[in-house]
Structure 1
């Protein structure tokens, strides 16, 4: 992720003709409720490889971009090409769920080598409050999207997660609900529900000082290696984007998450 990864609606409005905007809501929302003018619709389910979840354990030793819930390089390239997105575009993604689905889109794009990526802070509602919406869907010219090897990949497999459990310089972060955490989590993990970082009223991120205070209280500090997991890697996408926006440089993304961990009988704790 790059700097300034989380951007405001005003930031987007000033650059609307210079960026590619991707709306990851369902098509009925995109068409029926309206969208950011010029935004293309790439629904969340179109880049979510649900079948891959059951195979993540078998493929965890292969290219992480083809494991777990990522769609696969060819599928991703076709999807982006049909939407008129080029690999060098400045992309701003949004949803209507505090950014968690849009964040998953951005992490997927990063996995396939896209670098200029941004999340709209406050989701679609932040745009609707102050700016004009559109009901007209653009007709983008298809592109040949180039999948690239990222300069740095945050994706880690099970062995690296196992090593982090006993590493005092690492912290395992479970981004699920507290009740899920209590039912079972990775040994030594701390629980930080991804929504703790979001302001319920604005639907955007809490102020930076408040974010840093929350993270510090959970011992999630920039000097440590932060290893993120949830169930199927959706919720950690949002936390990953937040940490990237705060300048955390050593963040690991366990794509297989708890689905992969439990599939091979990894140890589970049930106490905080």
Structure 2
């Protein structure tokens, strides 16, 4: 955690299950059982007992294999999915005293539109293909209650330039862009409302290696300049190494280890983390 920086996000005991649930769901699943499927009732324990703090300007990387629960965690925090239980507090919302996961849909929508941003693995989940690049940024600004046309146009142009999308292509549609360009439009849109918190879900998957590097450099530059706190999900420890200050490792729906990224890479404690690190060498 960045020394002396205030805490932006606090998460305690977050869980998400798919299925009816039973008393054995959390007892007989997890890394020790090499499964997140309850043997009694068949419920999928996507994530359980997830807790962490995120400081201002910090990037927390969450790494794990497919099915570890890392993307489900982020979708719950961004309200794409409803958490089964747990607590999430955002310092800039109600003084950090209100559990966001228990708020009404209307309040969640307000938080999502005004105080959060999300960049998805598939750019077309975050941007609309029938809106222009500038129109996509404008949509986010409108949901954040900014209605002045000139202000919207200027903000969109500035953000697209900032994310290396040529201004001359501001009125082009995403379908005419490469995958890397679509991803940059999505990042510009996610930043439109000046969010204190940004979620990144597998943002380099499917991109060419050279494009991946440019997108990661862009994220780091934005983090340094704007001081946005970020949660970055990836199955690739190399991506996490480039991006994150701290890293959390997930397996079978549980967080098995969390610490400074350098410490995780140089002296992993959990057996699964050791396997991840050794596979990267």
Q: TM-score, with normalisation over the residues of structure 2?
A: 0.26
Q: TM-score, with normalisation over the residues of structure 1?
A: 0.27
- Which structure: larger Rg? 2
